[in-house]
């Protein structure tokens, strides 16, 4: 008689970050095998894009990542701009940077809430959700929508900044910086958290590289790799920041890297607002959307998302619709090559914790 | 944050505390930041993208919003149940209806709206257990506050046209060279790229040409396909690409926010790229054995002949003059329509097997009864080739001539004689042709001397019948206008040579019922000096070739045009008519081409019925 048993977590489970299922095999409360079970969120984004005009995909792509939709808009636009050989205006580069960093902040706030909740601390989630909403207010002022902004588009951005928006953002940066002290006291410097997270789901530098880790997962093993530094886009080449790294490679180190990334984002927003050209166009004129033919060719445009390298591989065939678009989300390798291995041998109570420490975003897997 | 600072911080994070988390207790005494909706509400941002608002009276139902919608959330429906609309020219009688189960609030529909009637509102709250109630026609009277609207600086529409190159006024008035230089490939593609493909323009075109399709083909670089689309509705696309009145452009949706697409020049570009239309030819039906006679090789006759030939009928055209094209060949000046272009189009129609008998006048060289007997059907496209007199006192003098005769003498007979001071009576497009031809002749014959061409028309600037482009061109070339004056009599000197034209100030041109009934201020009179007068106030037909007993059977409309049914058949069975003779023609080439096509379909139908 076998001692092991099967257990499904998800697709509807508070410990799973979205509509995604985990197929576990356990002995007692020790996981002996884990298999990711995707498809619950599959809406054929990539295939759908082939049947739509380039501009129509604008409504589709933000949905590939709910917590941080803007990275998709930026990556998609950069791919088209690259194929067409279009340079975007300086002011648009800065606006894109501000939007992307603000979006990164909101993505980390949302992650923070989920991560703390997976360890049993729900207060942080309440705070983070509230503080994320202040940023969403600013997004809706800038773009007209709360979550799916559809604001960054090929050629630049859709509208110039509303009057007084920069000051509001600076006010928010200051507010969040003050608030982060409380976040630290409650969570990041909490002895319970350190106790739970240290040494959990540890990976070495070699493993991280071999398994295709990017973003905070890779940075937590000591490798300072960041698309913003290595292959700069938008206004990042003009701004000053260091890539935070730790060496432990465990759940704790990944959380601290993300904590540093929030500091970085806030500082980048401040720098961008300081340096942004005060006047100038925010959009390079693009062709009539009904006859927007992108030259034949292929390209890969990537940005640094809150979870790692997020890229768009695009093939144009000289018509008004993309021949192929493939999205490289950081969550796919983090789930299938990393989480499936890390879960083996872990305790059931740590399953959610491990998934959240890798910040897996299911829609990035189900594209 | 540099490395040292970071390491220091990491150290802080490594040393956890059990006391510090307790500091969060202070939040128990803080005001929560949630709002108690609906008692408390948040201000909605200016650009908010909520439900739609549409000014349905301003909207023209072009359907660009539906075509750009990534979610297929928009359907174009009849709005009369909720908001009756007036159907204007250049609009479709439908308005957008949104399915909010599909809408993603991206606002692309607003960005591409040519009239700016569509907006998004600040309202996004609606609840109902009935799923069907989420589909509605947005209206202004639903009282939503506008949110996201289109911007003038950032718009995906390409509002500015590609400028057409033309000869400078100083150069062109000395030559009969074509004054419009035409697009090159890059310009044509750029202009074609602007087209949204909504097809509202097709309503304005009397021939209802497939404009969006042929523009798309030009954009795709397939001029052969483009011309094929043109030939489906227009047998003379190259000519129309030069001299059409382009009502399509007046209906172009870009007129609301920018420059209309230059449809006519695009048509010219595509036809100019092809030496002949062989590869664009329509499929020819097998021979039917029926014979059709066409009287007059003008645009309507050529059009009827072409389509009859594609239907497999054998067609013979009888033309009294030595050249084809009718008013196009004889009247339109060379600088607008060169001879080679006309030859190209006529040769194309001949290549379809159409026989053209030039110098063969019906009523003189062949009798009308013979045609009616020998042929299975007859088409009459004789046009208005005789100038209409205004019964001006003194007009019997040889130096007072008709505009159409003048243009014909210049173009066909190569006449280059012109006095130094010319007066043109008329304010229509033909009068402009006359004036601009006269100015060219003067420059050629009397270059550097003191010369003058002036026009006089009953209509003032605001109701001038000539197109704006023509008037502007004439002004640039130095034509002097006297709008709002009516000719009274010709003044002669003692040697019976013309001294000038006495004109009188116009009070009004039309009466209350908008009928032509000019009245004058009889006391306000002046004399225009000149030694040559050209009358160009309209043309008329001549039916002397039709035997009396048959002519009596021919029915006319109240406005003295030949009555035809919806298939172009006159009151005499087997006799069809089109072109300027019939009322549906607006006196332009494209209408004549359209009703030539219509008669061809009518004749084919007549044969089917007779079987």
pLDDT, tens digit, 9 for 90 and up, residues B142-196:
989 999 999 988 999 998 998 888 888 887 777 777 888 889 999 999 999 999 9
Interface contact flag, B15 A189, Cβ < 8 Å: yes
Q: Which of B227-236, B238-247, B365-374, B535-544 has the lowest mean pLDDT?
A: B535-544
**What is the reported pLDDT for A86?**
94
**Selected residue of B24, B41, B158, B162 to mutate for chain A interface (largest A Cβ count, 10 A):** B24
User: pLDDT band at B51, cuts 50/70/90?
Assistant: very high
Residues of A with Cβ-Cβ distance to B62 under 8 angstroms: none
Identify all chain B residues contacting A286, using CB atoms and an 8 Å cutoff.
Answer: 156
A242–B6: do the CB atoms touch at under 8 Å?
yes
Contact B108 A145 (CB under 8 A): no
Q: Which residue of A has its CA nearest to B109?
A: A56
In the numeric block, which tokens belong to residue A79? Answer: 């791919």
| CA A331/CA A317 separation, integer angstroms | 29
| Maximum CA extent, chain A | 75
CB-nearest to A130 from B12, B33, B216 is B33
Q: Does B158 sit within 8 Å of A144, measured CB to CB?
A: no
Do A59 and B106 count as a contact with CB atoms less than 8 A apart?
yes
Q: Would you place residue B515 in the very low, low, confident or very high pLDDT band (cuts 50, 70, 90)?
A: confident
Quick check: A260 and B1 CB within 8 A? yes
Instruction: Answer yes or no: do A263 and B1 touch at CB < 8 A.
Output: yes
Name the band, by pLDDT with cuts 50, 70 and 90, for residue B55.
very high
Residues A149 and B45: their CA atoms lie apart, in Å, by 13
Is-contact B487 B506, C-beta < 8 A? Answer: no
**Predicted structure pTM score:** 0.86
Phi and psi at B565, nearest 5°, equal -85, -170
In this predicted model, what pLDDT tens digit does every residue of B312-348 receive, in sequence order? 999 999 998 888 888 887 778 788 888 888 889 999 9
**pLDDT value of residue A1:** 54
Q: What is the pLDDT of residue B409?
A: 82
Q: Are B578 and B279 in contact (CB under 8 A)?
A: no
CA distance A9 to A40: 13
d(CA B192, CA B174): 33
Which two structure tokens, joined as six digits, stand for B324?
């084809």
In Å, how far is A161's CA from the nearest CA of chain B?
Answer: 11
Q: Which among A141, A191, A242 is the nearest to B1, CB-wise?
A: A242
Chain B residues closer than 8 Å to A193 by CB = 16
The whole-angstrom distance between B109's CA and the closest CA on chain A is 10
CB contacts < 8 A (A, B): 145
Here the ipTM equals 0.91
Instruction: Find chain B residues with C-beta within 8 A of A51's C-beta.
Output: none
Minimum-distance CB partner of B49 among A145, A194, A286: A145
Residues 6+ apart with CB under 8 A from A237: none
Q: How many residues does chain B have?
A: 611
What's residue B341's pLDDT?
Answer: 87
- When scoring B12, B20, B191, B194 by the number of chain A Cβ atoms within 10 A, the one with the most, hence best to mutate, is B20
Q: Which of B17, B70, B197 sits opposite A52 (nearest CB)?
A: B70
Determine the residue of chain B that is closest to A240 in CA distance: B1
Q: What pLDDT, in 10s, does the model give residues A72-107?
A: 999 999 999 999 999 999 999 999 999 999 999 999
Mean local confidence (pLDDT), B580-598: 85
Nearest chain A residue to B16, by CA: A191
pLDDT of residue B522: 86
- Selected for mutation to probe chain B from A288, A317, A322 (highest B CB count within 10 Å) is A288
> What's the gap between Cα A200 and its chain centre?
22
Taking an 8 Å cut-off on Cβ atoms, the answer to whether B23 and A246 are in contact is no
The residue of chain A with its CA nearest to that of B196 is: A290
Beta carbons of B406 and B424 less than 8 angstroms apart: no
User: For the packed helices B339-351 and B299-310, what is the interaxial angle rounded to 10 degrees?
Assistant: 30
In angstroms, the separation between the Cα of residue B120 and the nearest Cα of chain A is 10
Chain A partners of B194 at a C-beta cutoff of 8 Å?
A: 288
pLDDT tens-digit profile of B81-107? 899 998 888 899 999 999 999 999 999
pLDDT tens by residue, chain A, 367 residues = 568 999 998 787 777 777 888 899 999 999 999 998 888 888 899 999 999 999 999 999 999 888 899 999 999 999 999 999 999 999 999 999 999 999 999 999 999 999 999 898 999 999 999 999 999 999 999 999 999 999 999 999 999 999 999 999 999 999 999 999 999 999 999 999 999 999 899 999 999 999 999 999 999 999 999 999 999 999 999 999 999 999 999 999 999 999 999 999 999 999 999 999 999 999 999 999 999 999 999 999 999 999 999 999 999 999 999 999 999 999 999 999 999 999 999 999 888 899 899 988 888 888 8
The whole-number average pLDDT for the span B539-566 is: 85
Question: Which of B104, B147, B151, B254 to mutate to probe the A interface, most A CBs <10 Å?
Answer: B104
Closest by Cβ to B23, choosing from A150, A185, A291 = A185
At residue A178, the pLDDT reads 93
Q: Report residue B262's pLDDT band, with 50, 70 and 90 as the boundaries.
A: very high
Predicted pLDDT at A3: 84
Residues of chain B with Cβ-Cβ distance to A148 below 8 Å are 104-106
Q: Which residues of A touch B156 (CB under 8 A)?
A: 55, 286, 288-289
Q: How confident is the model at residue B465 (pLDDT cuts 50, 70, 90)?
A: confident
Name every residue whose Cβ is closer than 8 Å to that of residue A9 and which is 6 or more positions away in sequence. Answer: A15, A16, A21, A22, A24, A351, A352
Cβ–Cβ under 8 Å, residues A325 and A54: no
Whose CA is closest to B528, among B448, B472, B455? Answer: B455
For residues B523 and B501, give the distance between their C-alpha atoms in angstroms, rounded to a whole number.
Answer: 16
Helices (H), B18-119: 64-68, 108-112
- Specify the residue for token string 């529409």: B157
Cis peptide upstream of residue A11 (ω within 30 degrees of 0) = yes
Q: Which residues of B touch A244 (CB under 8 A)?
A: 1, 6
Determine whether the interchain pair B33/A290 forms a contact, defined as Cβ–Cβ distance below 8 Å.
no
CB-based contact A59 B70, cutoff 8 Å: yes
Contact B12 A189 (CB under 8 A): yes
Q: Are A105 and A139 in contact (CB under 8 A)?
A: no
Nearest CA-CA partner of B489 in B391, B420, B556, B417: B391
Residue keyed to tokens 């189960």: B101
Of the candidates A137, A144, A286, which has its C-beta nearest B49's C-beta?
A: A144
**List of chain B residues whose C-beta atoms are within 8 Å of the C-beta of residue A188:** 13
Residues of chain B by 3-state class (helix, strand, coil), percent to 5: 35, 20, 45
CB-based contact (8 Å) between B221 and chain A? no
Task: Give buried/exposed letters for A151-187 (b at 16+ CB in 10 A, else e).
Answer: bbbbbbbbbbbeeebbeebeebbeebeeebebbbbbb
Which of B 46-105 lie inside 8 A of A, CB atoms? 46-49, 64, 67-71, 104-105
Contact B46 A141 (CB under 8 A): yes
**How far apart are alpha carbons A31 and B243 in whole angstroms?**
82
B positions 411-430 inside 8 Å of A (CB): none
pLDDT at A2: 66
Per-residue pLDDT, averaged over B445-472, amounts to 86
Interchain pair A291, B195: CB under 8 A:
yes
**Left, alpha or beta for B97 (phi > 0: left; psi -120 to 50: alpha)?**
beta
Distance CA A98, CA A265 (A): 9
User: pLDDT value at position B611?
Assistant: 67
**Chain A residue numbers touching B107 (CB-CB < 8 A):** 144, 150
Does the pLDDT value for residue B550 go beyond 90?
no
């Amino acid at each position: 008689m076998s001692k092991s048993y099967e257990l499904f977590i998800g697709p509807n489970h508070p410990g799973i970050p979205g509509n995604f299922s985990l197929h576990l095999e356990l002995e007692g409360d020790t996981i002996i095998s884990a298999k990711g079970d995707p498809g619950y969120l599959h809406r054929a984004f990539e295939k759908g894009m082939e049947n739509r005009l380039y501009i129509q995909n604008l409504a589709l792509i933000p949905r590939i990542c709910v917590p941080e939709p803007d990275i998709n808009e930026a990556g998609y636009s950069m791919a088209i701009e690259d194929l067409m050989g279009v340079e975007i205006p300086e002011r648009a580069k800065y606006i894109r940077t501000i939007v992307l960093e603000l979006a990164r902040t909101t993505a980390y706030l949302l992650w923070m809430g989920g991560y703390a909740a997976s360890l049993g601390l729900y207060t942080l989630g309440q705070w983070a959700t509230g503080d994320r909403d202040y940023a969403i207010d600013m997004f809706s002022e800038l773009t007209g929508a709360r979550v799916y902004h559809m604001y960054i588009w090929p050629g630049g951005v859709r509208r110039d900044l509303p009057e007084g928006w920069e000051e509001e953002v600076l006010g928010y940066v200051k507010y969040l910086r003050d608030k982060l002290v409380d976040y630290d006291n409650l969570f990041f410097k909490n002895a319970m958290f350190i106790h739970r997270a240290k040494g959990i789901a540890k990976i070495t530098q070699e493993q991280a590289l071999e398994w295709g880790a990017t973003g905070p997962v890779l940075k937590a093993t000591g490798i300072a790799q960041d698309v913003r530094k290595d292959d700069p886009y938008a206004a990042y080449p003009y701004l000053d920041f260091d890539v935070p790294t730790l060496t432990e490679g465990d759940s704790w180190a990944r959380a601290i890297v993300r904590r540093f990334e929030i500091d970085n984002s806030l500082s980048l927003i401040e720098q961008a607002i300081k340096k942004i050209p005060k006047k100038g166009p925010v959009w390079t004129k693009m062709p009539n959307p009904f006859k927007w033919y992108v030259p034949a060719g292929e390209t890969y445009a990537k940005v640094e998302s809150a979870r790692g390298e997020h890229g768009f591989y695009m093939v144009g065939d000289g018509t008004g619709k993309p021949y192929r678009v493939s999205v490289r989300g950081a969550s796919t390798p983090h789930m299938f090559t990393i989480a499936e291995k890390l879960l083996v041998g872990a305790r059931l109570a740590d399953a959610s914790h491990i998934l959240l420490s890798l910040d897996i975003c299911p829609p990035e897997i189900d594209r | 944050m540099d490395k040292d600072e970071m390491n220091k911080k990491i150290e802080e994070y490594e040393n956890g505390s059990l006391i510090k988390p307790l500091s969060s207790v202070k939040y128990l005494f803080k005001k929560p930041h949630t709002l108690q909706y609906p008692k408390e509400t948040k201000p909605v941002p200016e650009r908010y993208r909520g439900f739609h608002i549409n000014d349905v009276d301003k909207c023209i139902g072009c359907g660009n919003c539906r075509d750009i919608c990534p979610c297929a959330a928009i359907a174009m429906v009849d709005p009369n149940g909720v908001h009756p609309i007036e159907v204007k020219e250049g609009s479709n009688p439908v308005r957008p209806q949104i399915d909010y189960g599909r809408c993603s609030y991206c606002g692309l529909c607003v960005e591409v709206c040519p009239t700016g009637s569509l907006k998004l509102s600040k309202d996004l709250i609606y609840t109902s257990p009935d799923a069907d109630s989420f589909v509605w026609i947005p209206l202004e009277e639903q009282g939503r506050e506008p949110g996201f609207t289109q911007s003038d600086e950032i718009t995906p529409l390409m509002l500015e046209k590609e400028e057409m190159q033309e000869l400078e006024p100083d150069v062109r008035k000395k030559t009969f060279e074509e004054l419009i230089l035409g697009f090159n490939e890059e310009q044509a593609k750029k202009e074609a790229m602007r087209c949204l493909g909504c097809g509202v323009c097709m309503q304005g075109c009397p021939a209802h040409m497939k404009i969006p399709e042929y523009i798309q083909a030009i954009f795709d670089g397939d001029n052969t396909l483009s011309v094929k689309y043109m030939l489906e509705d227009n047998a003379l696309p190259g000519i129309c690409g030069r001299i059409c009145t382009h009502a399509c452009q007046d209906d172009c949706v870009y007129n609301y926010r920018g420059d209309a697409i230059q449809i006519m020049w695009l048509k010219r570009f595509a036809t100019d790229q092809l030496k002949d239309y062989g590869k664009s030819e329509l499929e020819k039906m097998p021979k039917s054995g029926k014979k059709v006679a066409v009287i007059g090789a003008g645009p309507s006759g050529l059009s009827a002949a072409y389509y009859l030939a594609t239907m497999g009928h054998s067609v013979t055209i009888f033309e009294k003059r030595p050249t084809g094209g009718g008013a196009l060949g004889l009247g339109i000046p060379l600088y607008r329509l060169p001879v080679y272009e006309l030859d190209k189009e006529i040769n194309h129609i001949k290549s379809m097997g159409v026989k053209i008998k030039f110098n063969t006048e019906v009523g003189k060289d062949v009798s009308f009864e013979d045609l009616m007997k020998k042929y299975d059907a007859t088409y009459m496209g004789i046009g208005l080739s005789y100038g209409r007199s205004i019964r001006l006192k003194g007009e019997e003098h040889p130096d007072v001539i008709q505009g159409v005769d003048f243009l014909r003498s210049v173009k066909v007979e190569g006449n280059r004689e012109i006095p130094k001071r010319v007066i043109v009576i008329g304010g229509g497009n033909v009068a402009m042709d006359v004036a601009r031809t006269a100015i060219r002749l003067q420059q050629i014959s009397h270059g550097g001397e003191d010369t003058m061409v002036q026009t006089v028309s009953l209509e003032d600037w605001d109701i001038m019948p000539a197109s704006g482009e023509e008037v502007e061109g004439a002004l640039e070339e130095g034509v002097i206008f006297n709008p709002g004056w009516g000719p009274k009599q010709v003044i002669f000197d003692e040697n019976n040579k013309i001294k000038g034209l006495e004109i009188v100030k116009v009070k009004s041109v039309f009466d209350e019922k908008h009928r032509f009934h000019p009245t004058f201020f009889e006391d306000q009179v002046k004399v225009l000096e000149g030694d040559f007068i050209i009358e160009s106030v309209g043309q008329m037909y001549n039916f002397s070739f039709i035997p009396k007993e048959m002519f009596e059977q021919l029915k006319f409309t109240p406005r003295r045009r030949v009555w035809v049914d919806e298939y172009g058949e006159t009151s005499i069975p087997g006799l069809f008519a089109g072109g300027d003779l019939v009322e549906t023609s607006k006196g332009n080439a494209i209408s004549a081409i359209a009703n030539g096509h219509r008669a061809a379909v009518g004749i084919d139908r007549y044969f089917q019925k007779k079987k």
